[in-house]
Amino acid sequence: MIDFAKINIEDLIPHRGRMILIDEIVEITPEYSITSSTVNPSWPLLTVSGVSSLILVEVAAQSAGVCNGWDRIQEKGTESSKMGWLVGVKRAEFNRDFIPVASKIITHSENSNKYDNLRITSSVSRLDGDIIGEVTLQLFQASDD
């Protein structure tokens, strides 16, 4: 079994640099993850009002990538392919238009369906305990065979 403490976000998702929106992995299993993200001025979709709530789609995708990356590492090891997932938005609901800079978003992503290289993932993002977005994604990863 791989020690979670020795894994970093770059081991789990293909994003690098300013496109990594996840600051911390709060909890992780092969079925779900809880992540923390702090809105900062380098994020995409930033306006004078804050970052557009559309960013929650990417936060949900990265949070889903965390648990599915963990699943990959558990099955195939840390040196396995870190190939990304093709993501389709099945449903997205936002309870605000913008999220202020410095806000801490907690996202819970869970695989509701899992079959080979296909996942259906449901995510809920909260700010100060209030739900600010709910996103359902369809994820597909090409086989590395």
Give residue-wise pLDDT tens across range 63-81: 998 887 887 777 777 766 6
pLDDT (mean) for 30-46: 94
Please state the pTM of the whole predicted model: 0.90
Q: Identify the three-state secondary structure at position 5.
A: helix
Asked if the structure places residue 66 within a domain, the reply is yes
At residue 69, the 3 state secondary structure works out as helix
- Residue 30: alpha-carbon gap to chain centroid: 13
Domain presence at residue 31: yes
CATH number at residue 94: 3.10.129.10
Q: Which domain holds residue 54?
A: 4-140
Domain count, the chain: 1
Kindly state whether residue 145 falls inside one of the protein's structural domains. no
Inside any domain, residue 132: yes
Q: Is the pLDDT of residue 2 over 60?
A: no
Confidence label for 3 from pLDDT (cuts 50, 70 and 90): low
Q: Residue 32 domain-assigned?
A: yes
Using CA atoms, how far residue 39 sits from 34, 45, 115, in Å, is 16, 11, 33
Say if residues 38 and 24 touch (Cβ distance below 8 Å): no
